[in-house]
Every structure is written in C-alpha cells, then in structure tokens.
A = this chain, B = another copy of it.
Amino acid sequence: MSVTTPKGFRANGIASGIKASGEMDLSLVATNTDLPALAVATFTQNRSAAAPVRVSKSHLASSNNLVNAVILNSGNANAANGEKGMEDAKDMARFVAAELGVREDTVLVCSTGLIGIPLDTTPIRLGVKDLVAGLSNDQDGANRSARAIMTTDTVPKTATHLGMGFSIGSIAKGAAMIAPNMATMLSVITTDAKLTPEIAQSALSQAVEVSFNRLVIDGCTSTNDTVILLSSGLGVEPRPSVFADALEGVCRSLADQMAMDAEGAHKLVRIRVVGALNEEHALTLAKKVASSQLVQCSFYGSDPYWGRIASELGSAGVDFDLDRLSVSYGGVEVARGGISIEFDAKALEQKMAKREIVVDCDLALGAGSATVTTTDLSPEYIAENMRTS
C-alpha cells in the first residue's frame, strides 16, 4: 500500500491542469488530522536548487521538523524562476495549509518538470480543495499519490516494508536526472516507527547514500532532487539498526525501480569494485566506470569490451594498478592480471544478453568494495532528451 501502509498517513493525487496533457500532476501525502509527523530530508546539492527545495528547507527549520503534509507537483520544476518561483512555492504550501487548517511551515513542497518556465499556480489553488477532500488512508489514495508525481516514468514506483510493530511505505519518481526535460528524482517515505530526529536523519542519510546516490544514469544532478521521511510515531520504537536496515531496503528497491524504468534503458548494470584500498576508493572507481558514456554504449551493444573499463579505472585520478586488475561479466572472467584471458564465449554471450548484468572489477589492492548501479546508453535516451517540446 506504500505511503498509507504506516499508521497515521493519508494520500491523494489528482489531475489539476498543470500538465497540458490532462494527466495527473498534483500529489499530497498528509498525516491524519491534528497529528504532525517528524520529518527529515535530504536535498539536491545543486547550487541552482529549485524554489520548492529552498522553501522546504526553510519550513523544516522553522517548524522544528514537525510536518503535516508534503505537496508535490509534476509538469513544472519551478526552478530558475527567481523571486516569482519562491512566491509560487510558498503559495503551494499556503493553499494546502489553509485547506488542512495547519501552519504554512508544516507543509513541504516538491516539484518536478521543466526548468526555467514560470509556474502557473492557478490550477493548484483551484485543485487543492479536491486534493485534500480526496485524501484517504487506503490503497487507492496511495496509488493516486504515486501516479501524480510521474513525469516520463512509465510505471509508478512504490516500496513497502512490514517490520515488527512498525512499517515503512514510500512513493518515488524519476531516475536521477535521466528523466529528460522533466529532471529529478523525488521520494516521500512514511513510517509509523517511533524515532528521534537524530536517528531518523542518520538512517535516511545512510539509506540515500547507498541507494539513490549509487545510481548513476547520466551523471547529472537535478535542481529538484528531494527525499523526505515522515514518521508518525504511532508504532513501536525499533532498534536504530533495525530501522536503518529496513529503510535501506526500501530505498534500494526504489532506486532499482528507477534504473529499470530509466528512459531508453534496456539493461540494469551493477558495477561492483572489490579489492580497493577502502570503500571510498572503491566508490570513486565504480562511479567513474558507471558514468562512462563509452562503457554504457558497450552495454547497449551487449559487448564485453573490458578495455574501456580498464581505461576508465585508470583515469579516475586515484590509485590503480592495471597489472593487478581482473574483470568479470556475470561471473565470466575475461581479464586477469591486466590482460585478456581465454573465456567461454557462449556462456559470456548469454550473460551479456540478460536484463541485469553484474560487472566485477577486482583491483587486488585491499579489502574495500562498493557497488554502483547504472544502465546502458541507447538512442532512445537521446530521442527523449533532444527536445523539450
């Protein structure tokens, strides 16, 4: 049931008219009446951060992380819109707050869509009554909230965890900046686990780091990326590590769904670097390989050209010794000691044809490891990204 699975949350989504297509474009996740939730979040590091990101940060601070709702729109990112953009983002929170009868700064705001196009908030102002009236804590409300944040996503993305005495639910859209004109990944995660702000923030930061932050599609960081965790506290207080593991699982599932639905992508590729000096070293190298256009092209062609991987590893600017490198595709080793070796071509071909491929790069330098997820780069990606209109 996603965001409405944990006790204390309601959700809804409507077509307000922001999208000319008439598709759903306005989503709301809210607590039950008079029950603010503890909220923590991670936001884009982009210095061109969109107005809704700035407003949400400001609201989190002034409300002491006590939040009644998150409003999300698709179809316009409300980024690079100057002062008007800030006013429009605040208006979105204001409309919801008035309808719910709560303080304006207890409403957070997320937007996704085109950058640099002024947002007309009229459809939002007119639609907010229906949006709030339709809030429900059932499956349908959760489904609508997941659908209304989609841009070029082909399927809604949700993940749920049922723990002992607590649960976690979530909706998400996008795949980093791969969603073309539409940019952005957004996610709202709800839980009824009883959490302190410190434990909630720590668990969220860690979960985001090993899931969304290890998904590399095109290396572009959106102006609007936001992940919000809301906790109603109506369930038990789990051990911090138990909650952290559960949240990590939810975020990993959402990240994989994004990769699987990434535009023009035919394959989900895990770049697994082992034998690194430490985790950070492994991560630097895995990200370098995963974000390489040439490596991504090879996956589109199902071509196990490990020379490109060796070249990317060598140009990451960190320690690397080609003479120690082993590379395997789907468990079939193609290089050892930095040179090509004999392999079972038929077995390799079968592995390369699969929808999910694991590439192992063993550096034989230490015990550090890290895995980064990416996709192939296809002509469809270009077709979807070449024009905004």
Q: A301-B387, A378-B382 are in contact. Are A311 and B81 (CB under 8 A)?
A: no
Within the assembled complex, what's the spacing in Å between the Cα atoms of A61 and B74?
Answer: 61
Within the assembled complex, what's the spacing in Å between the Cα atoms of A221 and B289?
Answer: 12
Confirm or deny: A337 has a beta carbon within 8 angstroms of a beta carbon on chain B: yes
Enumerate chain B residues within 8 angstroms of A25, measured Cβ to Cβ: none
Confirm or deny: A297 has a beta carbon within 8 angstroms of a beta carbon on chain B: yes
Give the dominant DSSP class at A's interface.
loop
Within the assembled complex, what's the spacing in Å between the Cα atoms of A317 and B47?
Answer: 8
Q: A116-B306, A116-B335, A297-B180 are in contact. Are A315 and B382 (CB under 8 A)?
A: no
Query: Most B CB atoms within 10 A — which of A180, A297, A383?
Result: A297
Contact (Cβ within 8 A) B180 A294: yes
Contact (Cβ within 8 A) A340 B116: yes
Contact of A322 among B80, B322, B339 (CB under 8 A): B80
Confirm or deny: A246 has a beta carbon within 8 angstroms of a beta carbon on chain B: no
Enumerate chain B residues within 8 angstroms of A183, measured Cβ to Cβ: 311
Confirm or deny: A222 has a beta carbon within 8 angstroms of a beta carbon on chain B: yes
Confirm or deny: A114 has a beta carbon within 8 angstroms of a beta carbon on chain B: yes
Using C-beta atoms within 8 Å of the partner chain, give the interface range for chain A.
35 or more
Enumerate chain B residues within 8 angstroms of A85, measured Cβ to Cβ: 339
Query: Most B CB atoms within 10 A — which of A292, A300, A308, A312?
Result: A308
- Nearest B-chain residue to A301, judged by Cβ: B386
**Count of chain copies:** 2
Contact (Cβ within 8 A) A82 B339: yes
Confirm or deny: A117 has a beta carbon within 8 angstroms of a beta carbon on chain B: yes
Contact of A48 among B180, B298, B305, B315 (CB under 8 A): B315
Within the assembled complex, what's the spacing in Å between the Cα atoms of A115 and B338?
Answer: 11
Confirm or deny: A118 has a beta carbon within 8 angstroms of a beta carbon on chain B: yes
Contact (Cβ within 8 A) B311 A222: yes
Confirm or deny: A368 has a beta carbon within 8 angstroms of a beta carbon on chain B: no
* Chain B: minimal CB distance from A43 (Å): 13
Enumerate chain B residues within 8 angstroms of A114, measured Cβ to Cβ: 307
Within the assembled complex, what's the spacing in Å between the Cα atoms of A320 and B310?
Answer: 34
List residues of A (177-202) whose CB comes within 8 Å of B's CBs.
177, 180-181, 183
Contact (Cβ within 8 A) A48 B297: no
Contact (Cβ within 8 A) B220 A48: no
Confirm or deny: A49 has a beta carbon within 8 angstroms of a beta carbon on chain B: yes
18 A-B pairs whose Cβ atoms sit less than 8 Å apart in the complex: A45-B317, A46-B314, A47-B319, A47-B320, A48-B314, A49-B314, A80-B307, A82-B337, A115-B311, A116-B335, A221-B311, A222-B311, A293-B385, A300-B382, A305-B388, A378-B382, A379-B379, A379-B383
Q: Considering the complex of A and B, which 8 residue pairs feature the smallest CB-CB distances, nearest first?
A: A115-B307, A48-B314, A301-B386, A297-B385, A379-B379, A221-B315, A116-B307, A47-B314
